[in-house]
Chains A and B, each alone.
Chain A
Amino acid sequence: DGGITQSPKYLFRKEGQNVTLSCEQNLNHDAMYWYRQDPGQGLRLIYYSQIVNDFQKGDIAEGYSVSREKKESFPLTVTSAQKNPTAFYLCASSINGPQHFGDGTRLSIL
C-alpha cells in the first residue's frame, strides 16, 4: 500500500540526548513536511523540503534539524537544544496538492 510511515510510534528522550524520528513515503511525492502538535495549538510547521537536498525552516525550527538525501525519506532530529520536546510529531508529503499525513510519533521526556 502507498503511504507515509513514521517510526517509532513512541519515543523517549533523556536529558542532553538527540533523538531522530523517521519518516518514509512511497507516494513519489516531491515535498515533505514536519509538524509539531501540542494540545490546543493545532499543527505548527518545523521544517519542509520541496526537493531532494533542499529544505527550509518553518515557524518553529529552533532545536530541530532535518536532512533530505533521498526523495522517500525526511528524518527529523530533535536536539538537546530543544528544551520542551514533549509533543506529537507529524510528517506529511504532497505533490501539487493536499498534504497526506503519517500517524505520528509521540515524544516524551524521561
Chain B
Amino acid sequence: GENVEQHPSTLSVQEGDSAVIKCTYSDSASNYFPWYKQELGKGPQLIIDIRSNVGEKKDQRIAVTLNKTAKHFSLHITETQPEDSAVYFCAAVYGGSQGNLIFGKGTKLSVKP
C-alpha cells in the first residue's frame, strides 16, 4: 500500500539552530505535500505545503523542498525558538484525490533555550 516514511522520530536542537525533518513517499502520482504542527492536546495545524510543480517554498523561518525524482521532501526550520517545540507531521496525497492524505508517523521537535 501507499506509505510515507518520516525521519527522525525525535529531534533536539539548541535555540537558534536549524532543524530538518525528512520524508519519503511511495506513490509517484502524489502531487501535494502538506506539513502540520501539532501541540500537546491540540489538532494538527497546517504550517506550509508544496505542490509538485515547484521544488521549494519558503515562509519566513520555514521552508519545504521537494525532489520528485527521489520521491522525498523535507521541512527546514531556521533560527529555532522554544515555541517551535511540537510534533511535526508530513503528508502526501494519494489515489489521485486532492484531499486523501497519508501521514508520516511524526517528529517530536524539542528546542532547548
- A-side residues, CB < 8 A to B, are 4, 6, 31, 33, 40-45, 48, 50, 90, 92, 94, 96-104
Contact = CB atoms under 8 A, between A and B. Distances in A.
Interface residues on B, range: 20 to 34
B103 interface: yes
Contacts of A98: 34, 46, 49
B98 A43 contact: no
Given A43-B89, A48-B100, A50-B99, A102 B106 contact: no
Given A41-B105, A42-B104, A43-B89, A90 B44 contact: yes
Main secondary structure of the interface of A (DSSP, over half): strand
B45 interface: yes
A100 B98 contact: no
Contacts, number: 51
B43 interface: yes
B62 interface: no
Nearest to A40: B105
A14 to B, nearest CB: 24
Contact of B98 (A4, A42, A90, A94): A94
A9 to B, nearest CB: 9
Given A41-B105, A42-B106, A43-B103, A97 B98 contact: yes
A104 B98 CA distance: 23
Contacts of B86: none
